[in-house]
Amino acid sequence: MTSKQFGKLSDGREVTLYTLQNKKNATVALSNLGAALVSVIVPDKSGVLADVLLGHENAQGYVDDNSYLGFIVGRYGNRIAKGRFSLGGKTYQLGINDGENHLHGGKDGFHRKLWDATINTKSPFDSVTMHCVSPDGEEGYPGKVLLDVTYTWNDNNELTIEYRGTTDALTVLNPTSHGYFNLTGDPRNTILGHELMIAARQYTPAGPGRIPTGKLQNVDGTPLDFRSPKRISDGINDPFEQLQSAKGYDHNWVLNDFDKTVHRAATVHDPKSGRFMEVLTDQPGLQFYTGNFLDGSLKGKGGIAYQYRSGLCLEAQYFPDSPNKPQFPSVVLKPGETYRQTTKYRFSTTD
């Protein structure tokens, strides 16, 4: 574990970059600004290490970022319709930052916070726990929320992200990790040649503003069927209305067998480099997003412009707009309860 200065905020506070290295010399780096995952450097089938995560070179890049590269987003990952919901007989109005809706916790969500970090080098594998405090009323949400996110990097090239949250008043909580992956190790390539599997028979179709209609739809016979591994390019330009309206994949899949234990939710394979990524989670949903809003205007590490489809996100979460959809699994958190999430990104190679 090493740490170094990653830059400063305009108010003078220092931002730190933490690097965890395992016995295989593979590394992940994290920043306490937005508790962001900054890099994931893993081998290809010949053992060549490369960074498979889009990100920025310094804290300023994260300050200026509007694409949520690598951030922990919250309090609510994804959208809440019109930023409004009712809970315990009261109606709450959240900040609006995506058309007429609330997205990823609002403009000053968790991704804008400088989190406190605790380093743990005593367990078998090094980890960093990031702590954040979200005061009552922040972005319109009720209750003071405390959230800890622990990143652990083990010798199997497995990154575990564990969340623990509490509140002092009835609220909703649904944070997620917004990493953009490109397993080629060079984000000048697109992710279109990656083969994807998502363990889901259903998804939540979206209507205007990418808000779920509330229905669950079978993936069968649609380009959203990833039950068997399939190249992303195979279906992404299909005239299917759900893809056309999103300019690609940007949907929430209903993961099979949700029972709050950790299951394999998705796999991604880059046949050329042989890199293979598994996503395991205890969450009921997975947002698969193909970087449809990247347009080359955002420059990241190495000055590389992030073009359309240069990264893909697999965001483990509860379903978008659940506070307004009583038929979806509940995101309500009560005082005395603990919000928990475990999500793992495991890297290996094939020949």
Would you say 264 and 214 are in contact if contact means Cβ atoms under 8 Å apart? no
- Rounded CA-CA distance 208/243 in Å is 13
Q: Which is nearer to ligand GLA, 153 or 203 (CB)?
A: 203
User: Residue 198's beta-bridge partner residues?
Assistant: 266
Which residue from 271, 253, 283 is spatially nearest to 344, judged by alpha carbons? 283
- Which residue has its beta carbon closest to ligand GLA? 289
Structure tokens of 106?
A: 């609002």
Q: How far is CA 249 from the centre of its chain?
A: 15
Least distance to ligand GLA, CB of residue 300, Å: 14
Q: Which is nearer to ligand GLA, 31 or 78 (CB)?
A: 78
- Rounded CA-CA distance 245/7 in Å is 39
- Rounded CA-CA distance 4/16 in Å is 6
Least distance to ligand GLA, CB of residue 321, Å: 11
Least distance to ligand GLA, CB of residue 77, Å: 8
User: Residue 4's beta-bridge partner residues?
Assistant: 17
Would you say 306 and 54 are in contact if contact means Cβ atoms under 8 Å apart? yes
Q: How far is CA 327 from CA 46, 49, 117, 295, 348, in A?
A: 48, 45, 37, 36, 37
Catalytic residues: 178, 315
Q: Which is nearer to ligand GLA, 71 or 153 (CB)?
A: 71
**Which residues here bind ligand GLA, judged by CB under 6 A?**
67-68, 78, 103, 210, 250, 287, 289, 293, 313, 315
Least distance to ligand GLA, CB of residue 46, Å: 32
Q: Which is nearer to ligand GLA, 210 or 275 (CB)?
A: 210
Which residue from 265, 269, 268, 247 is spatially nearest to 256, judged by alpha carbons? 265
Other CB atoms within 10 Å distance of the CB of residue 233: 14
Least distance to ligand GLA, CB of residue 54, Å: 12
Q: Which is nearer to ligand GLA, 159 or 211 (CB)?
A: 211
Q: Strand 339-349 vs strand 158-167: parallel, antiparallel, or unpaired? A: antiparallel
